[in-house]
Amino acid sequence: MGQQKTILRALAGETLDVPPIWMMRQAGRYLPEYRATRAEAGDFLSLCYNPELAAEVTLQPIRRFGFDAAILFADILLVPQALGADLWFVTGEGPRLSTITGDADFARLKPVSDIHETLNPIYETLRILSGALPRETTLIGFAGAPWTVATYMIAGRGTPDQAPAHALMTQNTAVFEALLARITEATIEYLCAQIEAGAEVVKIFDSWAGSLKGAAFDKYALAPAREITAALKARHPGIPVIGFPREAGEKYIGFHQATGVDCVALDNSVDPEWAAANVQIDGCVQGNLASRHMVTGGEALVSDTRRIVKAFSGGPHIFNLGHGITPDGDPDNVQLMIDTVREGASA
């Protein structure tokens, strides 16, 4: 039954008449049922670490929209917390962490072998979902890429240009590279545990990959993705991996082959026609409708959705946004997007 799931077929390289579809951040604040469950949990981290409630919000968009995949509800910063970083969220501002700025800070991190004690509730969420999802729905696990996670651990928060991480990269390269290595090792263990708990696909989110240029991209975005992908496939043969080096631009070219991922997720800064000619030639692509359409809707949503479906119709494609849906997204626009993607099925 597994290989009949449309997303697994696309990831295996099959070109489908109607692309499968899911949406980044599909479980989130744009849904009233999510907001109600979040209120029940009390706060964001309590929701992440409550397997029953985390499974519930993961299932909500599947019940409402019938997406072809459910993605685990969690957060990329749970790995730093599991490594010993302090983590909290400031309402209206986002995450805050204790910082890694030198040798002493790095020395206080926990060994990778200790992370599962913190992350066990996440694995339980996956086990619940494995039994609760419709048989045709693929279960996706995920983690942040080492560079992106490191930017938060170094700065203690999200930053517009990742300047603190770039500064540590040049001023204390040894600590910077040791931190990336620790995150890489932890990510491998975390994703392997997710797979063992029921994830059928895993995705590596490198949200800040675009701030790495030239050789730095190759060393700190591409190489860790290759290491993680190789380790996952060695321990779990056949597991599909999606890589998302957001805003990689020309560096999207060759990313499949350089890293071994089965699918490259594309942000909406690249034209789908360009991506079809330069990226999809190497394998499955995912994307890449602009998230703003989930707010504004209308004919622009329909026309851009059709353009993307047409551009990628010659090869394996998973329809998605170019980034996550924002809290002001309209569920009616999500339904319009899905109906537009799937209109070929009844045409």
63 is annotated as an active-site residue: no
- Sheet containing strand 138-144, edge to edge, reads 69-71, 138-144, 201-206, 241-245, 263-265, 284-289, 317-321
d(CA 325, CA 29): 9
191, part of any domain: yes
Residue 235, CA distances (Å) to 37, 164, 192, 195, 196 in order: 36, 35, 8, 10, 10
Predicted local distance difference test score (pLDDT) of residue 347: 47
The residue type found at 89 is F
Q: Which domain holds residue 3?
A: 1-23+266-347
233, part of any domain: yes
Q: Let me know whether 233 and 313 are in one domain.
A: no
Predicted local distance difference test score (pLDDT) of residue 1: 43
**Of 30, 68, 75, 304, catalytic:** 75
Q: Burial code of 304-335, b = ≥16 C-beta within 10 A, e = fewer?
A: bbeebbebbeebbbbbbbbbbbeeebebebbe
Q: Let me know whether 289 and 305 are in one domain.
A: yes
CA atoms within 13 A on the CB side of 239: 28
Strands 94-97 and 87-90: antiparallel
Q: Let me know whether 201 and 83 are in one domain.
A: yes
Predicted local distance difference test score (pLDDT) of residue 244: 98
Record the pTM.
0.97
Q: Let me know whether 104 and 251 are in one domain.
A: yes
Q: Let me know whether 112 and 198 are in one domain.
A: yes
The token pair at 171 is 């001023």
67, part of any domain: no
- 25 Ramachandran zone, left/alpha/beta (phi>0; psi -120 to 50): left
The answer to whether the CB of 258 falls within 8 A of the CB of 229 is: no
CATH number assigned to the domain comprising residue 102:
3.20.20.210
292 is annotated as an active-site residue: no
Of the residues 265, 288, 319, which one is the last residue of a structural domain? 265
Predicted local distance difference test score (pLDDT) of residue 106: 98
Predicted local distance difference test score (pLDDT) of residue 92: 83
Q: Let me know whether 162 and 281 are in one domain.
A: no
184, part of any domain: yes
Q: Let me know whether 168 and 195 are in one domain.
A: yes
Location of structure tokens 């206080």: 108
134, part of any domain: yes
Of the residues 232, 265, 298, which one is the last residue of a structural domain? 265
Q: Let me know whether 156 and 235 are in one domain.
A: yes
**Of 30, 34, 38, 246, catalytic:** 38
Q: Let me know whether 110 and 243 are in one domain.
A: yes
Strands 94-97 and 138-144: unpaired
**Of 123, 152, 190, 220, catalytic:** 152
38 is annotated as an active-site residue: yes
Q: Let me know whether 171 and 208 are in one domain.
A: yes
Q: Let me know whether 144 and 156 are in one domain.
A: yes
160, part of any domain: yes
Q: Let me know whether 82 and 97 are in one domain.
A: yes
270, part of any domain: yes
d(CA 92, CA 116): 30
51, part of any domain: no
For the chain, how many structural domains are there in total?
2
d(CA 274, CA 280): 9
Of the residues 235, 265, 295, which one is the last residue of a structural domain? 265
| Ranges of the chain with pLDDT below 70 | 1-3, 344-347
